[in-house]
């Protein structure tokens, strides 16, 4: 799971550790699908497409807008790796907090942003009779979007 951290004309952005399972999988196959579900509204949006890394400048700007504890945790955590115990992480964060007291925490070399460039976007709307509405937008080679209604 990742938090959606930006949407613009270039795509949908999120940030993570490049060496995590997610990062390794994206390095092997740079494609992803994002799902946003609002159960109370009976709505869902699914976006799929190619994934590219965001620039170092974008990653650095976002990283430094995060709370200090989040910056230190990102630097300390070997995300998705086996660790001996919780104290391992707590000690690492404590040491980094002392090291960078009063100074900017550097962007970890293995942390940054990705952007999903949408190829398809599907909108789903719940209907009580199970005849849900599904509309799929597919990007065409010209950049235009084809809209198709899908059966539920």
Each residue's pLDDT tens digit, 114-146: 999 999 999 999 999 999 999 999 999 999 999
The pLDDT-based confidence of 80 (bands split at 50, 70, 90) is: confident
Residue 84 pLDDT: 96
The CATH number of residue 120's host domain is: 2.30.110.10
User: What's the confidence (pLDDT) of residue 2?
Assistant: 87
* Complete DSSP assignment for 7-31: EETTEEEEEEETTSHHHHHHHHS-E
In a domain, 75, yes or no: no
- Angle, helices 68-76/86-99, rounded to nearest 10 degrees: 120
Task: Phi first, then psi: give them for residue 113, nearest 5 degrees.
Answer: -100, 155
Give the total number of structural domains in the chain: 1
Domain that holds residue 121: 6-66+110-150
Tokens coding 133: 């509405």
As to burial, measured by CB atoms within 10 angstroms (0-12 exposed, 13-18 middle, 19+ buried), residue 112 is buried
**103, two tokens:** 């100074």
Q: Is residue 102 part of a domain?
A: no
* Residue at 39 is within a domain: yes
In a domain, 88, yes or no: no
Mean pLDDT of 40-63: 97
pTM: 0.87
Band (1; pLDDT cuts 50, 70, 90): confident
Q: Which residues pair with 35 in a beta bridge?
A: 46
pLDDT class of 65 with cuts at 50, 70, 90: very high
Cα separation of 112 and 107, whole Å? 8
In a domain, residue 47? The reply is yes
Comparing CA positions, the residue from 106, 117, 93 lying closest to residue 26 is 117
Residue 101 lies in a domain: no
Q: Looking at the domain assignment, is residue 26 inside a domain?
A: yes
Going by pLDDT thresholds of 50, 70 and 90, the confidence category of residue 16 is very high
Residue 136 lies in a domain: yes
């Amino acid at each position: 799971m990742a938090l959606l951290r930006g949407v613009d004309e270039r795509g949908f952005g999120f940030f993570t550790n490049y060496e995590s399972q997610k990062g390794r999988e994206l390095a092997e196959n740079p494609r992803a699908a994002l799902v946003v579900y609002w159960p109370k509204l009976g709505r869902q949006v699914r976006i799929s497409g190619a994934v590219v890394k965001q620039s170092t400048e974008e990653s650095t700007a976002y990283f430094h807008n995060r709370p200090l504890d989040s910056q230190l945790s990102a630097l300390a955590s070997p995300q998705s790796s086996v660790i001996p115990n919780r104290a391992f992480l707590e000690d690492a964060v404590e040491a980094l907090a002392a090291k960078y007291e009063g100074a900017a925490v550097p962007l970890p070399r293995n942390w940054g942003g990705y952007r999903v460039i949408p190829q398809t976007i599907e909108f789903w709307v719940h209907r009580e009779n199970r005849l849900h509405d599904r509309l799929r937008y597919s990007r065409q080679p010209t950049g235009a979007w084809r809209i198709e209604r899908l059966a539920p």
